Structure 1
Amino acid sequence: MHEDRWLPAQGLEESAILEAMENARRGDVDWRGGRLPGFYVHFAGDEVDRIGKRALEMFHATNALGSGAFPSIKRFEREVADWSLSLMHADGGTASITSGGTESIFIAMKAAREWARSNRPEVTRPKMVISHSAHPAFDKAAKYLSIDVERIAPRDDFKVDMDAFVAALDDRTIFIAGSAPQFTMGVFDQIEELASIAMSRNIWFHTDACVGGFLSPFAEQNGHAILFGISG
């Protein structure tokens, strides 16, 4: 085994630790530059960066699992969730904060599976139908949750091929999803149309809004029409 892979017998001085970290990040991309394809790193300015570092310093030892011990974290989660719901024009509803997109999709699919077990107990081998443009985390979650996945090729404009999508639905389908927007193409699927189909067939529907979805409300506030329901 290479020597660097062994746990060091002796610790390092602070200066050596900082030097090692500085050397390690020399090959990293410049996330302050603004254009960073494929990564969720956003630089909102030096002031936001400074306050974020200060907040991390103040709360780095807290644990959101212990809301009784750390009511501050429970308050922050509630406030961010409420703000997010208001941005999405949610009438009521609830929310929680996860560690990232994969966990969010996993939790949504877990909720769908448990719902189906109670509301559609006749389904013993559940299935989900999504477009090829949907996030790969759906397949990750499906593997752990024992849900079959059928992906449908999108149209030439990357939106959901609604005819092929509907044809893929069957008695085993418990879950469908649409992207708003898709992770790679930035195109909005026909969310309202997909939701209507799901409601008519007693299927759980999930909108994967992710980072792009949080940009949409501000684009709307600046006069851009966010067309969730257009299929043509």
Structure 2
Amino acid sequence: MRLLLVEDDDHVAAALVAVLGRHGFQVRHARSGSEALDALVPDGAGPYRVVLLDLGLPDRDGFEVCGRIRDRSRVPVIMVTARADTRSRIHGLNLGADDYVTKPYDTGELLARIHAVVRRWPAPPQDGRPQAAPATAPPGDPEPLAARGIDLDRKRRRVTVAGREVPLTRKEFDLLALLAQHPGVVYRREQIFSEVWRSGWEGNGRTLEVHIASLRSKLGLPTLVETVRGVGYRVVAEPPDEDAPAAGSGR
């Protein structure tokens, strides 16, 4: 299993490479953002299953590197950084990072998080081209959001509203796909974080709020995802009466 480690501190990298090697990973170490991006070009050695990305790189900020990775690949990215503030965590997740681990970290926990994201994403073909993410529900199931004009294509990971494709980040799509499985059912915050972020809810409340707000804004349907105060969120599949076109209105 190949892993790309992006870390400018050689001492930190050497220790981590040794640990990962003992657990069956083939690690390539990149010391800069440019080197990391170059390493993602298919080289015949097989695709990477995960990227461990430090944010404090010598040539460019790790957030920029994450954005560039996400533009070209769906390889899972785990940010491993000393930046522990909530704003950085939210920004990283919004850019498409699959997880965010702060230094100093427990090596056992880091390994568990690596295996968690690897389980979620099947191995891409050997030419390095990414596969579509696994669907959160069988693709043959009827789409429950048709009344809202939403087509949620889980296989291709595409969302359209009234025929207009809406670009969503990976986490936004996963969040919508989870809530849409059972419209009207309230998903607790803890459950959402466990299934979408594969991490605990404690201390991550603002991250979920940001993603919910972004979904409402991008879809143009502020009443689609309802907040159940003190519990969690649910999808409202049927539009409210006030949103329905009035008879004879010409709308």
TM-score normalized with structure 2 length: 0.26
TM-score normalized with structure 1 length: 0.27
The structure number with the bigger radius of gyration is 1
Greater helix share, 1 or 2? 1
Greater strand share, 1 or 2? 2
